[in-house]
Amino acid sequence: MRDERRPVLGVFLLAMASAMIHGEASGQGVAGAASNWTVSPEPERVHGWLEGEPDSDFSDIVGVAHGPDGSIAVADRLLAQITVLSADGTVLVAMGREGDGPGEFRSLSGLVVDREGRLVVFDDSHQRLSEWTFDGTLVGDTRLRREGTDRQIGAVGQFADGSRYASESDRLVATDVGGVGRDTVGYHRLGDDGAVGDALVRVPGSVTSMFSAGGMPPGIRGALFSPRALGATRGNCLLAGASDGPVLQIFDRTGVARGELRLEVQVDRATEDHRKRWISETIASFERMSGDEVSPQQTRMVEAMGEAVGMAERIPFAYDLIVDDLGYVWIQPYQLPDGPGNSEWRVFAETGQAIGPVQLPEGLRALAISTDAILGVRRDDLGRQFVQVHALDRRGDVESRPLPPGCG
């Protein structure tokens, strides 16, 4: 459980200064077919924190995957563990623990199910894949290998045919004092032996930089409304772009360009009004977290920081990107001051046409969207996390969208 002591404003601001600061897209959802889709306000299934059920407590869920007979596998970074739950919520098996040996974890970042029905788990600290059966048997570990670079991989994904790709973590970009650099993030082929191959595509990453002044140790300079790299698979293709430019590049699993997807969404340039909104929303956010009013001295600290830090050029239009099982593209908008966005998602067709917003239950972080359900995570006021399944009614619109050419 989370420590219930109130947060310290200085620590809160330091975290915000060194992390990405998320903005809010101003473009509005377009009324269309998806505007009539509904998500059940109450979940059909809830997993987590079951009394008398060991290994059912979750605090930092980084991945969820469907298993046989309605089971669900849950990866929790804080617990360094994968838990498999039956359809009724019973814990079937817990696998892994903190450590450096075979089947042990330091920093889980996600999981997928391969074509053989095994769990493939990625640890970004170990830079290692672990393969497990759903009954808890460790099949093997594979350490990732790269030539000519020490840049770490941040996540691993999978195409429809079972082949894999690896995406780099954002990194700091060295600049002069006062400058703000922008990273680029590569999505690479990933061999079964762990070899990280050539880049399929490189996309702009976050706006942040490392700088030094007068021989002092390097520092971190962030930017308000810093964007992030976005990526998702569609069949045997990767859709990748940056969250401040509504164009997704389409590359097949061999790295051949297959076109682009231009989303019908407005992206605004950052202005001083956005800076003022960031300041006021940051103060309001801290008051909600702490339960106390921010003092005049603390307010001045926030104002000074907001005025001193540079801004990204544009306000990001998205915080997250999901391609559902039918091929629709779902975008979660940014929300001031630091995300992760609101509960209204925007849905786009395979052509990029906006077909309307869909309202998700408040506080639900969507992880996967099938034909008739949304699988996500919700956090309560005590910091406990629950896996939830909500019914999705598309009003009969359940035909798969056409794949881009070369992506089948």
**pLDDT in 10s for each residue of the chain, 408 residues:** 333 333 444 433 433 443 333 333 333 445 688 999 999 999 999 999 987 777 889 999 999 999 999 999 999 999 999 999 999 888 999 999 999 999 999 999 999 999 899 999 999 999 999 999 999 999 999 999 998 888 999 999 999 999 999 999 988 888 877 677 899 999 999 999 999 999 999 999 998 888 777 667 777 777 889 899 999 999 999 999 999 999 999 999 999 999 999 999 999 999 999 999 999 988 888 888 777 888 889 899 989 888 888 889 999 999 999 999 999 999 999 887 766 767 999 999 999 999 999 999 999 999 999 999 999 999 998 889 999 999 999 999 999 999 999 999
Rounded Cα distance between 118 and 158, Å, is 13
| 369-374, Cβ contacts within 8 angstroms, sequence gap of 24 or more | 369/322, 369/324, 369/325, 369/328, 369/330, 370/324, 370/325, 371/324, 371/325, 371/326, 371/398, 372/398, 373/44, 374/39
Residue 399 domain flag: no
Rounded Cα distance between 75 and 97, Å, is 11
Please tell me the predicted confidence (pLDDT) of residue 337: 73
Please tell me the predicted confidence (pLDDT) of residue 179: 75
Helix H or strand E encompassing 278: helix 272-290
Please tell me the predicted confidence (pLDDT) of residue 36: 95
The DSSP bridge pattern shows strands 237-242 and 247-252 to be antiparallel
Residue 273 domain flag: yes
Please tell me the predicted confidence (pLDDT) of residue 22: 35
Please tell me the predicted confidence (pLDDT) of residue 305: 85
The model's pTM is: 0.88
Q: Give just the sign of the alpha carbon dihedral 316, 318, 321, 327.
A: negative
Residue 314 domain flag: yes
CB 132 within 8 A of CB 121: yes
Residue 66 domain flag: yes
Residue 405 domain flag: no
DSSP-derived letter for residue 52 is: T
Helix H or strand E encompassing 288: helix 272-290
Please tell me the predicted confidence (pLDDT) of residue 30: 57
Please tell me the predicted confidence (pLDDT) of residue 212: 73
The DSSP bridge pattern shows strands 310-311 and 257-262 to be unpaired
Residue 406 domain flag: no
Provide the angle, in degrees to the nearest 10, between the axes of the packed helices 272-290 and 9-18. 140
The residue range of the domain holding 372 is: 9-393
Residue 224: which CATH number? Answer: 2.120.10.30
Question: How many CA atoms does the CB half-sphere of 88 hold within 13 Å?
Answer: 2
Rounded Cα distance between 49 and 381, Å, is 14
CA-wise closest residue to 403 among 74, 159, 199, 168: 159
Please tell me the predicted confidence (pLDDT) of residue 173: 86
Largest CA distance in the chain: 65
Residue 122 domain flag: yes
CB 344 within 8 A of CB 24: no
314: left (phi over 0), alpha (psi -120 to 50) or beta: beta
Residue 324 domain flag: yes
In sequence order, what are the beta bridge partners of 184? 204
When divided into structural domains, the chain yields a total of: 1
